[in-house]
Structure 1
Amino acid sequence: MSVARNIFAEVPENSRATEEAAQFVETVTYADLPEEALRIGTRCLLDGLGLYVAGADHEMVEILKAEALDNAGRPDALLLDLAARVPAPMAARVLGTSGHAHDWDDSQVSTDPAHIYGLLTHPTIPPLTASLIMAQKIGNVDGRAFMLAFLTGFEVECKISEWMLPQHYMSGMHSSGTVGTFGAYAAAAKMLGLKGDQLRWGFGIAASLAAGIRCNFGTMTKPLHVGRACENGITAALLAQRGYTADPNALDGPWGFFAVQGGGVSEGKLGQGFGRTWTIVEPGVSIKPYPCGVLTHPTIDLMLRLVTDANIAPDDIEGVTVHAGTNILKPIRYPIAANHLQAKFSLPAALAMIALARKAGKREFSDEFVQSDAMQAMQRRIRTELDPEIEAQGFNVMRSRITVKLKGDGEVAGWADERYRGGPENPLSDADLEAKVRSCCEGLLDQAGQDRLIETAWKVQELPDSGVLAQLLRSAP
């Protein structure tokens, strides 16, 4: 009984989050979208399209495509880069996994010191995937309706993630798999025009389907969390449309999602509501320059600055020590990366890439590069160390420092910039974003295909049929 009372105490009895979420999805209009939300959302769309292409030939995605083809049914939507069409949930599983395959998709930002910066959700891929798949299934969904559905799902996902206590992530749940389900559901429900009880039932279905645990970080299953969030969100919307019932208040109450998975909610935040301030604008979103966990990014930039400014060659390095807090060292958990998936959660791997190549991109995050003798040897010169002073400063930003000991005599050291590259305070320029998209597409789309993808994404609001976006992911138009 004491456990039940503690859970209930974390979710106010008067919580109406499910009802308010449903009302928001049902009533929000294109005219309600702030211009800045549309601008940033278009950037997230372009980034996401590039990421779908980047993951299309990954082994994990090829396995999922083969599984989908073996079980194909109703031809709702394209199967990523193939000409084949499969049922919407199945197409979403593959597309969503591809978008997260390289861990290069954007990160939600929170300025609340109660949260651990960087440990919320990857907000774009679930609602973008649902919007892209449902636009094909429904047909003739114009660009404005597409962006409305995408940004509706984005807002619902981020607010739920922000309102939950950090216990959700720290207890081992992967927010992009759990909360991402609600983002995909809200986007799909908006496109389907769900209303009233159907909308609230869909939230209940999504709440029971939401899943993903952090033990699978560094494996193929981590990106599958996002693919399943996309699949399950669409499934929840389609079932609700048919009249499938669920608890109409599934976010709230002692046995609702907030209590059971979230460890409760911040009562003071529930009054923020949905769409009064748009999370994509304030506090914003980080578009990643590197295909790895965002918690590594400030440290990667610092390492790049140190070796570049001092012109340090790989053979000059005797050892590197990374000083950080548990907010970084626990999630970024591999001391030596044996493959490219582990490297995405390894500071020694990421910094070894910089030491050897002064780059940490798609080529460096490959098994061929990570498993090379040079990379394996360099990783063993790099160690992490818990810094009590950094730990004591809290987790509202990503703090770290590096000491590089040089062979012979001497060292260089520095602190990571808290205004990290890609974050809302230091965003990638549009030109840098386009360059990232081209690097995602390298070897998969030719120059003309890359041009079409970029040009079409920028003018998404003018499209008479947003379903054409899915065709841009293929080598042939």
Structure 2
Amino acid sequence: MATVLELIAAQVVSRNTFSSVTLARARDAITDTVGCMLAGAVDAAPQAVASAFAGDIGAEGASSLVTGGRASPPLAALVNATAAHCLDFDDNFHPARAHASAVLVPALLAVATANASISGYQLVAAYLAGLEAQASVGFGVNPSHYNRGWHGTSTVGCIGAAAGVACLMGLGADRVAQAMSLAASMAAGPKGQFGTAAKPFHAGMAARNAIEAALLSRAGLTGRLDILERHQGFLDLFGGDQAAGWADLPLDGAHVIETRGLVAKLHPCCASTHRAIDAALDLQAEHGFSLDEVIRIETKVGRSARDNLAYPDPADEMQARFSMQYCLAVALLQGRLSLSDFTPEAVSRSAVRTHMAKIAMDAYSPEEERGVERLPHKVSITLQDGRILHAERLHAKGSIACPLTDEEKRAKFTDCLRWAGIDGDDMHGVVAGLGDAASVRTAMEQVAR
């Protein structure tokens, strides 16, 4: 009887045709992630990672780093994925409870830029393989795994990305399964690190580990193919008390990017804030109030979101990204959030701080959440004139239920370039065209120039 890893590997290797919707969404995700990588390159987190391994970075390495120089593919993935995730502007993927693209795209680009023969279509196909593998691994352990405190980006993301990298390397289903098995031994990352530079490092760690697992598999190293489901395996140790396992794992059918999609972020902060922000902005647009007119704001979110948002009085920009009070106050004060709202100076603004005490956050009970995959986040706003306004959101702006417009996608990419100090009017077209490039390496060299 085939193991779970063998079933997943056989599925992702055999899927070689994709719908136009699937391909378009994958290309959008890759473009969005490259924008986040470029914006994040100037942040302290990837700069520190690059500095730590400066002796292994030079002009002659196989893969390019967004922080400058070239290095081996695993090191390039480590730095670039840290950059992709450090501003928390990269997409979310609910089936894996992970920042799927922040791991996948840097890992795949590190391999593709080391081999001029890899085409854009191969990159997209490998991305889709890795995404489906992440969804399949996450199916068996989430949401219990995530609620227990594991950062799915560096656990589920690592294992799934190993499948994508192995596919890009042209490995067969047996070696793809072995790459995932080895990656399961590398999966780690506690959510207790949220609000620190270790969180984006989790994405870098997962991307590096995915490449190393695929390389080790290609070289013949093996692990147990039943490591997900066996005693003392991934489910047993990481799953939590409500993890279902993979007995009902759906395979075949439409690709998960078409049925579930990704959530492209409109706001550069923890996704746990987004539905409340969107609901509050909806109320502000409808009723025309200012934050000065607000007496009280009450929010109700999922338990995992409450745990993620651990900083009601953030001390710096990293903590501010995980503060409902800060993010919601800024959004209602300005009508939007931008990358410039997450600097030490911005976080200390008295104009924002005076309103944060008005904002409270509560969470659903375990009983309310039991057996329900997704509950809406709710907002109640009490105004000085006595009105109490209510709104709720099941899906954030940027989900397939409420997608970003083409103009919003382009504006986000431009904002990322501006934040990085890059003047690249034609760069969006180059990155958006990666999926059609004859050589990913050649196309990315144009971006680098």
1:242 shift after superposition: 1.7
* Residue in structure 2 matched with residue 468 of structure 1 by the alignment: 442
1:58 and 1:296 mapped to 2: Cα distance? 22
* Residue in structure 2 matched with residue 18 of structure 1 by the alignment: 5
Matching of residues 24-423 of structure 1 within 5 Å: 24-29=11-16, 32-72=17-57, 75-82=61-68, 84-110=69-95, 120-195=97-172, 197-263=174-240, 264-270=243-249, 272-273=250-251, 275-386=252-363, 391=368, 395-407=372-384, 409-423=385-399
Q: Is the 8 A contact 1:326 1:391 kept in 2?
A: no
Q: Is the 8 A contact 1:178 1:210 kept in 2?
A: yes
| Residue aligned with 1:225, SS | helix
Identify if the C-alpha distance between structure 1 residues 377 and 391 changes in structure 2 by more than 3 Å, giving closer, same or farther: farther
2:380 and 2:296 mapped to 1: Cα distance? 8
Give per-residue Cα distances to partners, 1:325-350, cap 9 Å, x unaligned. 53432332322222221222221111
2:104 and 2:363 mapped to 1: Cα distance? 37
1:99 shift after superposition: 0.8
| Residue aligned with 1:200, SS | helix
Amino acid at match of 2:261: G
| Residue aligned with 2:298, SS | strand
* Residue in structure 2 matched with residue 8 of structure 1 by the alignment: none
2:35 and 2:88 mapped to 1: Cα distance? 13
1:390 shift after superposition: 11
Identity value in percent: 26
- Segments of structure 1 that go 5 or more residues without pairing to the other structure are 1-13, 111-118
| Residue aligned with 1:420, SS | coil
Per the normalisation by structure 2, the TM-score is: 0.91
Deviates more, 1:230-239 or 1:61-70: 61-70
Amino acid at match of 2:315: A
2:322 and 2:92 mapped to 1: Cα distance? 15
Give per-residue Cα distances to partners, 1:128-154, cap 9 Å, x unaligned. 112101011222211111111111111
2:338 and 2:307 mapped to 1: Cα distance? 23
1:361 and 1:63 mapped to 2: Cα distance? 24
Q: Is the 8 A contact 1:26 1:193 kept in 2?
A: no
- Segments of structure 2 that go 5 or more residues without pairing to the other structure are none
Per the normalisation by structure 1, the TM-score is: 0.86
| Residue aligned with 1:209, SS | coil
1:302 and 1:166 mapped to 2: Cα distance? 24
1:267 shift after superposition: 4.1
1:288 and 1:178 mapped to 2: Cα distance? 21
1:18 shift after superposition: 1.1
Identify if the C-alpha distance between structure 1 residues 304 and 394 changes in structure 2 by more than 3 Å, giving closer, same or farther: farther
1:54 and 1:443 mapped to 2: Cα distance? 6
* Residue in structure 2 matched with residue 11 of structure 1 by the alignment: none
1:245 and 1:329 mapped to 2: Cα distance? 40
1:60 shift after superposition: 0.9
Q: Is the 8 A contact 2:283 2:391 kept in 1?
A: no
Structure 1 runs of 4+ with >6 Å offset = 387-390
RMSD: 2.5
Aligned residues: 446
2:370 and 2:207 mapped to 1: Cα distance? 37
Give per-residue Cα distances to partners, 1:44-100, cap 9 Å, x unaligned. 111111111111111111111212323337712011141x11111111011111111
1:61 and 1:204 mapped to 2: Cα distance? 28
